[in-house]
Amino acid sequence: MGFRVLIADPLSEEGIAPLLESDDIHLDLGTEWTNQELLERISDYDALLVRSQTQVTRDLITKATNLKIIGRAGVGVDNIDLDAATEHGIIVINAPNGNTNSAAEHTMAMMMALSRKIPQAYLSLKNRQWDRKKYIGIELKNKTLGIIGLGRIGAEVAYRARGQRMNIIAYDPFLSEDHANKLGIKKGNIEDVYQHADFITIHTPLLKETRHLLNKQAFEAMKDGVQIINCARGGIIDEEALYEAIQAKKVAGAALDVFEEEPFYEHQLLELPEVIATPHLGASTIEAQESVAIDVSEDVIRYVHGEAVRNPVNLPSIPREALSEIEPYFLLAEKLGQFLILLADEPVEQINLYYSGDVAKTKIGPITRNAVKGLLTRHLGDHVNDVNALYLAEKRGVTIHENKTSSTQGFTNLIRVEIVTKSKKRSVAGTLLNGLGPRIVKVDHYSVDVTPKGHLLVIHHQDQPGVIGKMGSFLATKHINIATMQVDRADIGGNAIMVMTVDRHIEKNVLEALKQLEEIHDAISIDL
C-alpha cells in the first residue's frame, strides 16, 4: 500500500503533484469528511496534510496510531496540538515561506481599502446610493504605520508601506537596531507603537503571550482615530474590546481577515460600518497555495526517503550544510545509547553526554536526541524517535546534560555517554573512524575496539590465566561461535572485561549458566 497520506483540507492540485507522482505514496482526499469520519479513519494514515480548517486535536492525534508526520500547508500551526504530536513522536512540518508575499499583499490591500472605505462605498453603490461625502478617506502618505511582529510578513509589509511613503515604527522582541535601519524603519517598544501609529497592523503568531495582546488597555493607549489591520490570527485581538473601542470612536476602523472563531456567518463586529473583513483570505492566491502545497509535499517525500525535512516545527531545523556534518554521528550516538542501557541495573536518573574533538565543533543537540532515543528505545519500544525522545526522558524525571570537553583521548572525535543511577555511573564512548564507521572504544574505563553491530556479549571477569579459554569452551558447548573478542583489565589479576561479537543471539538461560562460572562477575548480551 505504500506510505498513506490523507489530505484533509483543499490543497492546490499542482502543489501536490510531487506526491501524486511518487510511486511509494498512496494519496487519499478527505476534504469532504466530517470530524467523526476523520476520527474513525485517521488510524489508516501515515501522514496528514491540512491547511487552517482541520483542527488536529489531541483526540485526533491519540486515534492516529500510525501517523508519523503532519504537514501544515501554511505558516500558523495553532490548529495543531503540537504538544500531543510531540508526545506521540509525530513530526509536524509547515510551509513558512510560501504565502508570505500573498499575506503581505493582502495586508496592504486591506489597509488601502480601509483608509479609502472602498468596501463600504462599493456596498452603498450596489444599493443604488451615489454618496461621495460619506466616503471621504485619508491618505497613507506621511502617516505612521505601527507593525507588531516584524517576521517574514511584517518585514514585507514594512517594505511595501515604505513605497506608500509611510513612516514605520515596529515592535518585535527580536528586532535589532541594525535590521530596523536596514529596512529604513524605526524600532520601538509596544507603547511607542500605540502612542505614534495612525495604523496598526499585527503580524505575530497566536501564542499564549499574544492572545488578546490588543485588549481594552492597549486600545486606550493608542492614538484617537487609530485604524487596525489583522491578517495574522484571530485571538490576538480581544474582539469585545475592539467592538467597544470602535463604538467609543477611539478606533476609527478595522480591517480583519482572521477571527477568534472561524468559520462564522454572523458576527457582532461586522454590524459596525467601520469594520471591513475577508474570510481568512490572506494566503488565498494561486501562487501561495501552489507554493505551500509543494513545500509540504516535498517535505513528506523527504521524510519517506529517510532524509531530513526542511521545515520541522517540533524539531530544531538544521541547515543543510550542518546536517551533512552531523548526520554520520546519529547512528553512533544511537548505538552508544542502545549499548549503554543494557549495562544499567537500576533506573536511570541522569544522562551526561561528553563531546570532544571534531564532533564538539558541530551542532550537538540532534546527536544528543539520537543517544537518548537509543537509551529509551530498549525499554519503551519503537515509538521513541527524534521528536519525542527528550520529552519522554524528561517525563520520567531523567535530566540530560550536554558537555563539550577537550579530552579526545587520541581520537579525532569522541562521544561519551554516561548514565547515573542511584548507586553508580556507567559509561560508554565511541568514535567515528574515518571510512570505517562507528566504533565503541571505551566501556566504563576499559579500552575496547568494537563495531556496534550484531550480537555482542559483555563479560566482567577476574583477570586470571585460563578464563578466556574457559569462556571459549563454554560457548562452544552451546554452539555459539565467537567472531571477534576484545579484552582489557584494570590491573594484573584485577577486574577485567571481555567484549565479544558472536554469531547468534544468546539466550537468557545461557547467560545465567555463564554467570555461574567461578571467575565471571557478570554477563550481558546486547543485540544491536
Ligand X SMILES: NC(=O)c1ccc[n+]([C@@H]2O[C@H](COP(=O)([O-])OP(=O)(O)OC[C@H]3O[C@@H](n4cnc5c(N)ncnc54)[C@H](O)[C@@H]3O)[C@@H](O)[C@H]2O)c1
Residue numbers of the site for ligand 2HG (CB under 6 A)? 51-52, 74-76, 99, 280, 282-284
Return the residues of window 277-306 that contact ligand X according to CB under 6 A.
Answer: 280, 282-283
Least Cα distance to 198 among 235, 143, 151 occurs for 143
* Alpha carbon distance 316, 365 (integer Å): 8
User: Would residue 13 show up in a list of annotated catalytic residues for this protein?
Assistant: no
Pattern 57-76, binding to ligand X, x per CB under 6 A? -----------------xxx
Pick what 154 binds: ligand 2HG, ligand X, none; C-beta below 5 to 8 Å, kind-dependent: ligand X
Least separation, in Å, of the C-beta of 157 and ligand X? 9
Return the residues of window 353-412 that contact ligand X according to CB under 6 A.
Answer: none
Binding residue for ligand X (CB under 6 A) from 94, 120, 204, 362?
204
User: Would residue 346 show up in a list of annotated catalytic residues for this protein?
Assistant: no
* Alpha carbon distance 274, 287 (integer Å): 31
Between helix 320-341 and helix 365-380 the angle, nearest 10°, is 30
Looking at beta carbons only, is 171 or 219 nearer to ligand X? 171
- Greatest Cα pair distance, the chain, in angstroms, is 109
Q: How many CB atoms lie within 10 A of CB 371?
A: 28
User: Would residue 87 show up in a list of annotated catalytic residues for this protein?
Assistant: no
Pick what 130 binds: ligand X, ligand 2HG, none; C-beta below 5 to 8 Å, kind-dependent: none
DSSP line for 223-278: PTTEEEEE-S-TTSB-HHHHHHHHHTTSEEEEEES--SSSS-S--GGGGSTTEEE-
Q: What angle do CA 151, 327, 324 make, to 5 degrees?
A: 65
* Alpha carbon distance 258, 283 (integer Å): 11
Least separation, in Å, of the C-beta of 357 and ligand X? 36
Return the residues of window 98-117 that contact ligand X according to CB under 6 A.
Answer: 99-100, 103
Looking at beta carbons only, is 282 or 452 nearer to ligand 2HG? 282
* Alpha carbon distance 237, 227 (integer Å): 13
- Report CA dihedral (48, 36, 43, 376) to the nearest 10 degrees: 80
> 40, 220, 262, 394: which one is catalytic?
262
Q: Does 258 bind ligand X (CB under 6 A)?
A: yes
Looking at beta carbons only, is 281 or 511 nearer to ligand X? 281
Looking at beta carbons only, is 113 or 510 nearer to ligand X? 113
Q: CB–CB of 500/484 below 8 Å?
A: yes
Least separation, in Å, of the C-beta of 494 and ligand X? 59
Looking at beta carbons only, is 57 or 284 nearer to ligand 2HG? 284
Select the span of 59-67, 94-102, 219-227, 330-338 touching ligand X (CB under 6 A): 94-102
Looking at beta carbons only, is 180 or 450 nearer to ligand X? 180
Count Cβ neighbours within 10 Å for each residue of 83-106 and write b for 16 or more, e otherwise: ebbbbbbbbbbbbbebbbbbbbbb
Q: What angle do CA 400, 402, 408 make, to 5 degrees?
A: 140
Pattern 132-171, binding to ligand X, x per CB under 6 A? ----------------xxxxxxx----------------x
Looking at beta carbons only, is 296 or 441 nearer to ligand 2HG? 296
Give the phi and the psi of residue 412 in degrees, each rounded to 5.
-75, -25
Q: Does 172 bind ligand X (CB under 6 A)?
A: yes
Least Cα distance to 365 among 310, 423, 407, 317 occurs for 317
Looking at beta carbons only, is 78 or 519 nearer to ligand 2HG? 78
* Alpha carbon distance 61, 459 (integer Å): 44
Coil vs helix vs strand at 139? coil
Q: Does 203 bind ligand X (CB under 6 A)?
A: yes
* Alpha carbon distance 474, 457 (integer Å): 13
Binding residue for ligand X (CB under 6 A) from 193, 231, 336, 526?
231
Query: Hey, what's the cell of 407?
Result: 579530552
> 51, 72, 106, 233: which one is catalytic?
233
Residue at shortest CB range from ligand X:
151
Select the span of 32-40, 202-210, 354-362, 445-453 touching ligand X (CB under 6 A): 202-210
Pick what 51 binds: ligand 2HG, ligand X, none; C-beta below 5 to 8 Å, kind-dependent: ligand 2HG
**CA-to-CA separations, 260 to 206, 215, 234, 279, 427, in angstroms, rounded:** 10, 13, 4, 12, 52
Binding interface with ligand X (CB under 6 A): 74-76, 96, 99-100, 103, 148-154, 171-174, 203-206, 209-210, 231-233, 257-258, 280, 282-283
User: Could you list the active site residues?
Assistant: 233, 262, 280
